[in-house]
Structure 1
């Protein structure tokens, strides 16, 4: 996995996967500690779960506002700047005097948690075409590890040191991340000389010009919506009877993400071999099966464990296949292509979180119904769009 000038080795890709892990973890620290935050500020489960939605909205805005700049300036310098601002956001979360202040701080943090979406198109553009899926798969393994780190450490630290300490930990993680990026990410040259306002305007043109991009945006929106419906409500449901788990136990459910970490490189190789359309079908079908197991979660914890593992794997199939198929569409606009796609994905995450929060009143059956509906919509749209393209 080497660039023509030898600048991108497998070792560098692995280090950058670690960077993706530490960066994306900050978006998920709040999930296992939602009950602790709600108890601290006296807010209901439904209101507290909106913190997840605010982080995802911030992430979507950050994708739209900041990632396109990667086509205009050195991406390494852009990433380091965003990490510095994110550290300020984490400090504001740790010191939040009110629930409203915490919501605004998480929105700011979400805005600047987009560094993996600058790293991924950089690596995808440097990798050989027949190794692009594998390279993206390794980076997505890192992001999956970030989900695990964010949820597991957050639950453990929150239970024993309080939820504010979780955001203090994020500050230390950011410091390490900045060192990794500075030492391993190659400097890049601008691929566009468009002024910033025109860069943003060009996003609409990319969306209009490429049917493949439009299809990827819609399936990504729906698949991540299903994924987020689960994680935005899991802590609240597990805190209820019959489980009544604390934050540290809820955080341990993040360890289930090990399956998707192991699976991501394999998913990348299968995508290179079997094609992106097939993998999107496979991913959405796995999501549907997974929410069938979630429906049984109130009866047995093992059904929930299996459902969570399958949800992680199904979503990764859809995400990786979509990212692999959009980057070759216009090589000079890879950051902007990723912006359009990932903005749609995380808007889907915010919508899914909202759906999950609304469905939580019907307990596990409500969550299963919301997630399965989103997954089924993704599958149906993909099949229709693929048939029309052929």
Structure 2
């Protein structure tokens, strides 16, 4: 049994966690290219269908807050295996749901239970030496990112070929395979917190209240992810209209373009040898804001959207990996609780971006979405410029 005093982790385990992270987190994003199909099938408005994506992200924030801290209190492998059973159940409900409220409830549960990757990232951080920390976190996060991006591509193709329900049925089957994989491949880790659940949650709040590095990372991450969600949630509606007039499979294929950015971002940890974490984050946020220029000025062309998607993902995921590296360097064994604060903020930002982009689409279409995405990127950059140096000076 592994414990938190060890400083190395095998490449096999890291790669296993990377693959599983991608498969599990994909459950949250299959719905995005399928919203148009769901809207037509249930005869509801695009705005009503868009709430499916919002509720999934809100559910993910709930899961991060309520489930991920338990990784410090209970045996993590056992916690993951129990959670996978709940993921499977939620996906089955989504597959057979017949009313919009059922889809809303199932989406909330899918988001709440698909938090396993956020139990893996602290494991990678905790068992890595400081020299390997950024690279190992980057590898696990790259699997997670590819899961997010490729899920849109796969979801769009499967939905167009066999209907939107089939995608969630296939996802449920994959979770059974993941359960077996976790049982056989992932090592157990001893808990490092012995208090009550109330004390555990209180310590999460204390970390959020007292750690400036974590606070700034959380705000940057929330705004950047909200910016990306604004793009991907409304892209399907934008491309159903002239001049594109294409279906879910084409929209989902933009996940492949995003994968280029995500794979490039996975290498960002190696830049630490040449520049500081804060400088890497600054450049990443500038790339994110610049990407909205392509999506706005060339948003009615394929090339403009492709370039925009690549740079949105590159900027968001590069800053994300460096945000996590930054707060995992704090001297504490509360790794799951640190990750809880950051990731809850991250997905609250995502749900804000999704919701505000849906409203902006309703009133101002693509121009409104671009305004929302660019403003969230600017807020992240403004906070970074104002506070990053001051916080570092106090460390």
How far does residue 283 in structure 1 lie from its aligned partner after superposition? 1.3
State whether residues 282 and 317 of structure 1, in contact with CA within 8 Å, keep that contact through their aligned partners in structure 2.
no
How far does residue 328 in structure 1 lie from its aligned partner after superposition? 2.6
How far does residue 281 in structure 1 lie from its aligned partner after superposition? 0.7
Residue of structure 1 equivalent to 2:366 = 364
Residue of structure 2 equivalent to 1:321 = 322
Residue of structure 2 equivalent to 1:374 = 376
Residue of structure 1 equivalent to 2:353 = 352
Question: In structure 2, do the counterparts of structure 1 residues 297 and 38 end up closer, same or farther at CA, with 3 Å as the change threshold?
Answer: farther
What is the CA deviation profile of residues 27-84 of structure 1, one whole-angstrom value per residue up to 9, with x for unaligned ones? 0010000000000111111221111110000000000000000001111111111111
State whether residues 62 and 114 of structure 1, in contact with CA within 8 Å, keep that contact through their aligned partners in structure 2.
yes
Does 2:175 correspond to 1:174? yes
Residue of structure 2 equivalent to 1:235 = 236
CA distance in 1, matches of 2:128, 2:260: 25
CA distance in 2, matches of 1:6, 1:279: 26
Residue of structure 2 equivalent to 1:16 = 17
How far does residue 126 in structure 1 lie from its aligned partner after superposition? 0.3
Q: How does 1:21-100 map to 2 (within 5 A)?
A: 21-100=22-101
Residue of structure 1 equivalent to 2:111 = 110
Residue of structure 2 equivalent to 1:386 = 388
CA distance in 2, matches of 1:29, 1:280: 29
What is the CA deviation profile of residues 2-37 of structure 1, one whole-angstrom value per residue up to 9, with x for unaligned ones? x98686211221121001100100000100000000
Q: How many residues align?
A: 388
How far does residue 148 in structure 1 lie from its aligned partner after superposition? 2.8
State whether residues 7 and 129 of structure 2, in contact with CA within 8 Å, keep that contact through their aligned partners in structure 1.
no
Residue of structure 1 equivalent to 2:308 = 307
| SS class of match (1:299) | coil
Deviates most, 136-145 or 55-64: 136-145
CA distance in 1, matches of 2:339, 2:135: 17
Which structure 2 residue ranges, 5 or more long, are not aligned?
A: none
Residue of structure 2 equivalent to 1:337 = 338
Residue of structure 2 equivalent to 1:132 = 133
| SS class of match (1:32) | helix
CA distance in 1, matches of 2:97, 2:322: 39
CA distance in 2, matches of 1:19, 1:51: 24
CA distance in 2, matches of 1:219, 1:183: 37
CA distance in 2, matches of 1:124, 1:39: 44
| SS class of match (1:26) | helix
| SS class of match (1:33) | helix
Residue of structure 2 equivalent to 1:252 = 253
State whether residues 30 and 52 of structure 1, in contact with CA within 8 Å, keep that contact through their aligned partners in structure 2.
yes
State whether residues 6 and 127 of structure 2, in contact with CA within 8 Å, keep that contact through their aligned partners in structure 1.
no
CA distance in 1, matches of 2:354, 2:337: 25
How far does residue 363 in structure 1 lie from its aligned partner after superposition? 2.4
CA distance in 1, matches of 2:272, 2:100: 43
How far does residue 241 in structure 1 lie from its aligned partner after superposition? 1.1
State whether residues 33 and 152 of structure 2, in contact with CA within 8 Å, keep that contact through their aligned partners in structure 1.
yes
CA distance in 2, matches of 1:116, 1:57: 16
What is the CA deviation profile of residues 170-191 of structure 1, one whole-angstrom value per residue up to 9, with x for unaligned ones? 1111122222222222110111
Question: In structure 2, do the counterparts of structure 1 residues 88 and 106 end up closer, same or farther at CA, with 3 Å as the change threshold?
Answer: same
What is the CA deviation profile of residues 102-153 of structure 1, one whole-angstrom value per residue up to 9, with x for unaligned ones? 0110001100010000000011110110111100111111012101331111
State whether residues 14 and 139 of structure 1, in contact with CA within 8 Å, keep that contact through their aligned partners in structure 2.
yes
Does 2:277 correspond to 1:262? no
CA distance in 1, matches of 2:133, 2:51: 36
**Please, what is the CA RMSD of the aligned residues?**
1.5
CA distance in 2, matches of 1:46, 1:263: 33
| SS class of match (2:193) | coil
